[in-house]
């Protein structure tokens, strides 16, 4: 009987976790290609709307990772200019590349999360990969 109760509790708990994951990922991501970082100013983003955008073309293909302490995001600059404050930051490895940086920003009731992603791109002759870099911004997920 105890085993049945434990299984029922675990099943219920896991269904709540899955439900929470589905809600946060229910925003479809729009992919945008830009030619240069200045093109970001022409997007006219309302950071209090609900959206998810991944922006490619902000950075050239890189041969190696920059030092973490020197790394930053372009979208961060836009958010800070609009009066947002950074409330969290983290970085780590991921399965599609050697680094991902995440930061969270807040202004009143508006919340945005920015991810800078280093994707493995093409394998070079020395066996290492060059890196394609993008930034993704998710604002106000429901």
The residue among 138 and 69 whose pLDDT is bigger is 138
Give the distance from CA 85 to its chain's centroid: 17
Give the list of residues 6+ apart from residue 33 with CB closer than 8 angstroms, or none.
56, 57
Print burial letters for 14-37: b (CB count within 10 Å at least 16), e (below 16): eeeeeeeeeeeeebeeeeeeeeee
Residue 135 DSSP SS3: strand
* Position 68 confidence tier, pLDDT thresholds 50, 70, 90: confident
**Is 112 a residue whose pLDDT tops 90?**
yes
What confidence tens digit (pLDDT) does each residue in 114-134 have?
Answer: 999 999 988 888 888 889 999
What confidence tens digit (pLDDT) does each residue in 35-52 have?
Answer: 888 788 788 889 999 999
Alpha helices (runs of H) in the chain, residue ranges in sequence order: 2-24, 74-81
In whole angstroms, what is the distance from residue 24 CA to residue 21 CA?
Answer: 5
In whole angstroms, what is the distance from residue 76 CA to residue 5 CA?
Answer: 48
* Position 16 confidence tier, pLDDT thresholds 50, 70, 90: very low
What confidence tens digit (pLDDT) does each residue in 85-101 have?
Answer: 999 999 998 888 899 99
pTM score, two decimals? 0.74
> What's the pLDDT at 41?
77
């Amino acid at each position: 009987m105890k085993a049945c109760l434990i299984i029922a509790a675990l099943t219920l708990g896991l269904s709540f976790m899955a439900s929470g994951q589905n809600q946060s990922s229910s925003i479809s991501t729009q992919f945008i290609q830009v030619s240069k970082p200045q093109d970001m100013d022409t997007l006219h983003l309302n950071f209090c709307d609900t959206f998810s955008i991944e922006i490619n073309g902000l950075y050239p293909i890189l041969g190696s990772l920059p030092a973490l302490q020197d790394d930053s995001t372009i979208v961060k600059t836009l958010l800070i200019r609009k009066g947002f404050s950074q409330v969290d930051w983290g970085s780590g490895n991921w399965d599609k590349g050697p680094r991902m940086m995440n930061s969270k920003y807040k202004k009143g009731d508006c919340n945005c999360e920015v991810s800078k992603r280093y994707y493995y791109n093409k394998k070079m002759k020395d066996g290492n990969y060059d890196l394609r870099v993008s930034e993704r911004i998710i604002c106000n997920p429901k």
